[in-house]
Amino acid sequence: MNNGPASRRRASIKDVASMAGVSTSTVSHVINETRYVSEQTKQRVLRVIDELNYRPNFQAQGLKRQTSKTIGLILSDLRGSFFYRFVDTLGATLQADDYDVLVCNSASSVAREQRHLEMLLRKGVDGLVYAPVDYRTYHEELTRWNVPFVQIERKNANYQADYVGIDDQFEATRVTEFMIDQGCRRVAFLMHGGTIFLGRRLMGYQAATQERGLYDADLIERLGLEPGSSVRELVQWLTAREPVDGVICTNLRLCRWLLQALQQVGPGYPHPKVFSFDDDPWLALLAQPVSALAQPIEQIAARTVEILLGRMRGDESPVRDMRLDCELIDRFGP
């Protein structure tokens, strides 16, 4: 065990340089990738950084303080209604505590997520709010740098970290049962592939349809992320089979694409009842009613801030897995 100065206080760049046998400028170049450093030297510096748990904090270095008063926010896709409403609420809540928020959009790219993570950690953020792109990728930096973080909306079980969101499987079961109770017997399920939270929604749908004797794997459609091609795929999918009488869209984007596809299939196609897993004010303005699951975004943001600030202030209580209740909004009428 190291009993030097770095073990009694926060390690400095000088501590890293001394232990690695290099200059402080070399350590800086390794961290910032601003100049070529031989692979052997680079690995030696990184091992020392890991051993000392060194955390560069450029704001602290420039302002002579040990907190940056910034929170990093890494979201999987800002195009969704959930995330832009979450950012608005989270930002307002943190502003009351004099924290600024740095928002990064991974756009469903693991590589982009990695770059955002490295950048925010180098900038010395005090904490992170993180919506993982997927549930498989493990970013070592998140644990090595020892920065408090809370996962939202989707959970990567590789981390022993707090989570705030909803019970996707339970809510999907409830939604599917609602659609069946509305008289739907061919309930389609639209989703994107590759994410565990949508996988859990799929499991809820499967459980409910199997329980009612209505499960049909042919009614599950997985789409990509490109609007144009996805709408065309939906048109082909709808017209290639017996009409469905209900459709569950696992996010608001898919709901929008479905409504576009239904316009294109023509008036002769019997329009199904549509349900969106996210709600938005524009849904109430549609001529075709769309029922929705209203996620408690404001509560999710408030609990996220509460937990994150607690961790940043030294809270060492057991990891929390907080699942909040949703409101099912019925717009189908009697």
Percent of the chain with pLDDT over 90: 50
Confidence of residue 185 (pLDDT cuts 50, 70, 90): very high
SS3 77: coil
Among residues 311, 287, 317, 253, the alpha carbon closest in space to that of 82 is found at 253
Residue ranges of domains in the chain: 5-54, 68-165+297-324, 168-294
Mean pLDDT of all residues in 163-185: 96
CATH of domain 168-294: 3.40.50.2300
In this structure, of 76-85, 108-117, 277-286, the range with the lowest mean pLDDT score is 76-85
Give me the pLDDT at residue 80, please. 66
In this structure, of 170-179, 188-197, 300-309, 319-328, the range with the lowest mean pLDDT score is 188-197
Give me the pLDDT at residue 3, please. 39
Q: Which amino acid is at 139?
A: H
Instruction: Flag whether pLDDT at 215 surpasses 50.
Output: yes
In this structure, of 82-96, 155-169, 251-265, 300-314, the range with the lowest mean pLDDT score is 82-96
* Average pLDDT in the chain: 86
In this prediction the pTM is 0.76
Confidence of residue 294 (pLDDT cuts 50, 70, 90): very high
Confidence of residue 7 (pLDDT cuts 50, 70, 90): very low
Mean pLDDT of all residues in 184-204: 83
Given this chain, do its domains 5-54 and 168-294 carry the same CATH topology? no
Distance of CA 128 to the CA centre of its chain: 12
SS3 290: strand
Q: Are 21 and 113 in contact (CB under 8 A)?
A: no
Topology of domain 5-54, CATH:
434 Repressor (Amino-terminal Domain) (1.10.260)
**CA–CA distance, 33 with 36 (Å, rounded to integer):** 7
Instruction: Flag whether pLDDT at 321 surpasses 60.
Output: yes
SS3 318: coil
Q: Which residues contact 196 (CB under 8 A, 6 or more apart)?
A: 134, 135, 154, 155
For helices 13-20 and 39-52, what crossing angle results, to 10°? Answer: 130
Give me the pLDDT at residue 49, please. 86
Give the residue, 49 or 181, on which the prediction is more confident.
181
**CA–CA distance, 309 with 94 (Å, rounded to integer):** 9
Instruction: Flag whether pLDDT at 93 surpasses 70.
Output: yes
CATH of domain 68-165+297-324: 3.40.50.2300
Strand pairing category for 327-329 and 290-294: antiparallel
For helices 81-95 and 297-312, what crossing angle results, to 10°? Answer: 50
pLDDT digits (tens, 9 = 90+) for 21-48: 999 889 888 877 667 889 899 899 988 9
Mean pLDDT of all residues in 44-72: 71
Q: Which two tokens stand for residue 267?
A: 């008036």
Highest average pLDDT, of 14-18, 37-41, 212-216, comes from: 212-216
For helices 13-20 and 24-32, what crossing angle results, to 10°? Answer: 110
Q: Given its phi and psi angles, is residue 2 left (phi above 0), alpha (psi -120 to 50 degrees) or beta?
A: beta
